[in-house]
A = this chain, B = another copy of it.
């Protein structure tokens, strides 16, 4: 490994594509562990931070303050982001949770509750709904036991799950509307692999929404970027060409500011952009089949986040926590209310706000309509105070953000899950970061940090700047000494047979058909074999003689 990249005719040792949290963490880790490495960071947008974003809003306390329109919460078990926050000297504070919450399931009226999940409040729900929700939560928790984040198809269960959508699962496994709704809401706003299903929905304890970062999560990327050189904004990569002999990789794209084509040659690449954006790049040579299917087939969620600031936190004085969950459905087909869920969004220094997520049906509506709809919906849930104390409204339709295409993370449509487990597989010298490639807290900032470390360690391993030791972050990668390739679900074919009861049903139907046919035509087979059996059976059970 040469220390001077010029000798090999390359411009940089490592090119990092994407200046979100994972790309910046990877670059920082490379710089820390191997300070002489020449790193270039390319970012298609005109800002760093990826799916974290700050916005300035009018508040009560100060004239202006920043709020997060992107990633925001940190959970107590998200050790990778917590470790980074500690290193960067960021403080966290707890999500406000005291008081009653409000839930609206189906087309029923909003109901207050104070327990963990809306479905466990006995007085508000029917006994059917409670039994059903306990059963399905147990079932989901049981199913998560079968999914190994390093090898999804090591169990039969997961191949069956790959064939259906969540809504189909809930319709097949949940028997009440309220419970289908609860799962519907939960899956709209969360992602996979958080240890257990309950954790994903929860604000307290080990929940994913337990803590917020003082000053806003968007500052993490800005802080990281401030200590790195060679970040080029508005550089959109369009083509990655790997020389199969030398391994030298050529990164081509458009400098959007100057409308010029750029070309950089490098030895290693860290692709720290979402998989759906990897799919927009032309790869030479062609990606392997599974990787291509993953990049082409995955889709970004269509999350719309909004922040509303108020003069006073009226919900607290009214005994509410600020938490609302709702399906947004109305009795009229096609009509929807905007709010899916909200939380108290009061900042560390105490500026009152409500933050929440909006039904994707509102993505195509203009800003004024979205703002009015949200405020009206808040009035519906929390009363007229929401209008009286209103200060400012901002929102972000993440699906409309270019070079991103959605939030919070990708989902893989049914039938493509077999490709997902190859997300961490390097392609020649291209390594893949991004929260989707994490093994813990996929889709969260913590997953982004973990994947950043892992991809940096992969590159260090390739550059032989690392001892041949299996580091924690390299677990499950091809650099792991215990690595074995993930199992492919090619055995679906051989393991799925018709269930016994279907065969039995088919067989007995056929036998009955033959019997009825032969009786009707009085075939000799009846007289010879069936008649004696018939007579004996009917005599035994009904004590009468069976007619000819």
Instruction: Judge whether B263 and A261 touch: CB under 8 Å.
Output: no
Q: Report B-chain residues with C-beta under 8 Å of the C-beta of A296.
A: 276, 299-300, 405
Residue from the list B397, B403, B413, B496 in contact with A416, Cβ < 8 A: B413
Main secondary structure of the interface of A (DSSP, over half): mixed
Instruction: Judge whether B413 and A284 touch: CB under 8 Å.
Output: no
Minimum CB–CB distance from A181 to chain B (whole Å) comes to 9
Instruction: Judge whether B177 and A364 touch: CB under 8 Å.
Output: no
Report copies per complex: 2
Residue from the list B171, B299, B363, B397 in contact with A496, Cβ < 8 A: B171
Give how many A residues have a beta carbon under 8 Å from the other chain's beta carbons.
Answer: 65
Given known contacts A296-B299, A491-B333, A506-B175, A288 and B163 CB-to-CB distance under 8 angstroms: no
Instruction: Judge whether A282 and B403 touch: CB under 8 Å.
Output: yes
User: Nearest residue in B to A288 (C-beta to C-beta)?
Assistant: B364
Q: Report B-chain residues with C-beta under 8 Å of the C-beta of A165.
A: 163, 414-415
Does A490 reach chain B (CB closer than 8 Å)? Answer: yes
Instruction: Judge whether A333 and B413 touch: CB under 8 Å.
Output: no
Instruction: Judge whether B289 and A302 touch: CB under 8 Å.
Output: yes
Q: Report B-chain residues with C-beta under 8 Å of the C-beta of A403.
A: 282
Instruction: Identify which of residues 382-414 in chain A touch chain B, using a CB-to-CB cut-off of 8 Å.
Output: 397, 399-400, 402-403, 405, 413-414
A146 to B329, CA, bound (A): 27
Minimum CB–CB distance from A390 to chain B (whole Å) comes to 27
Instruction: Identify which of residues 259-300 in chain A touch chain B, using a CB-to-CB cut-off of 8 Å.
Output: 259-261, 263, 276, 279-280, 282, 284-286, 288-289, 292-293, 296-297, 299-300
Given known contacts A402-B282, A506-B175, A254 and B261 CB-to-CB distance under 8 angstroms: yes
A131 to B507, CA, bound (A): 12
Q: Which of A429-437, A445-453, A497-505 sits within the interface? A: A497-505
A261 to B414, CA, bound (A): 38
User: Nearest residue in B to A238 (C-beta to C-beta)?
Assistant: B238
Residue from the list B299, B361, B494 in contact with A333, Cβ < 8 A: B494
Q: Report B-chain residues with C-beta under 8 Å of the C-beta of A399.
A: 286, 289, 292
Q: Report B-chain residues with C-beta under 8 Å of the C-beta of A254.
A: 238, 252, 254, 261
Minimum CB–CB distance from A224 to chain B (whole Å) comes to 26
Q: Report B-chain residues with C-beta under 8 Å of the C-beta of A542.
A: none
Minimum CB–CB distance from A262 to chain B (whole Å) comes to 9
Q: Report B-chain residues with C-beta under 8 Å of the C-beta of A510.
A: 131
Instruction: Identify which of residues 410-442 in chain A touch chain B, using a CB-to-CB cut-off of 8 Å.
Output: 413-416
Residue from the list B177, B263, B334 in contact with A497, Cβ < 8 A: B177
Q: Report B-chain residues with C-beta under 8 Å of the C-beta of A252.
A: 254, 259
Does A484 reach chain B (CB closer than 8 Å)? Answer: no
Instruction: Judge whether B286 and A400 touch: CB under 8 Å.
Output: yes
Given known contacts A333-B494, A399-B286, A299 and B302 CB-to-CB distance under 8 angstroms: no
Would you give the 0/1 interface string for A499-531, flagging 1 where the beta carbon is closer than 8 Å to chain B?
000110010001000000000000000000000
Q: Report B-chain residues with C-beta under 8 Å of the C-beta of A276.
A: 296
Does A483 reach chain B (CB closer than 8 Å)? Answer: no
Does A164 reach chain B (CB closer than 8 Å)? Answer: yes
A168 to B399, CA, bound (A): 30
Residue from the list B176, B261, B279, B506 in contact with A280, Cβ < 8 A: B279
Does A493 reach chain B (CB closer than 8 Å)? Answer: yes
Q: Report B-chain residues with C-beta under 8 Å of the C-beta of A400.
A: 285-286
Q: Report B-chain residues with C-beta under 8 Å of the C-beta of A360.
A: 289
Q: Report B-chain residues with C-beta under 8 Å of the C-beta of A263.
A: 259
A260 to B510, CA, bound (A): 71
Instruction: Judge whether B175 and A502 touch: CB under 8 Å.
Output: yes
A312 to B182, CA, bound (A): 67
User: Nearest residue in B to A289 (C-beta to C-beta)?
Assistant: B363
Max chain B C-beta neighbours (<10 A), residue from A285, A300, A413, A496: A413
Q: Report B-chain residues with C-beta under 8 Å of the C-beta of A57.
A: none
Does A142 reach chain B (CB closer than 8 Å)? Answer: no
Does A223 reach chain B (CB closer than 8 Å)? Answer: no
Q: Report B-chain residues with C-beta under 8 Å of the C-beta of A131.
A: 510
Can you list 17 A-B pairs, Cβ within 8 angstroms, ordered by A? A163-B164, A163-B168, A164-B164, A164-B168, A171-B496, A175-B503, A177-B497, A236-B238, A254-B254, A259-B261, A279-B279, A289-B361, A292-B405, A296-B405, A329-B493, A333-B491, A413-B414
Q: A163-B168, A260-B261 are in contact. List 14 more A-B contacts (CB 8 A).
A: A131-B510, A163-B164, A164-B168, A167-B492, A168-B414, A176-B498, A236-B238, A284-B402, A292-B405, A293-B299, A297-B297, A297-B299, A329-B493, A334-B490
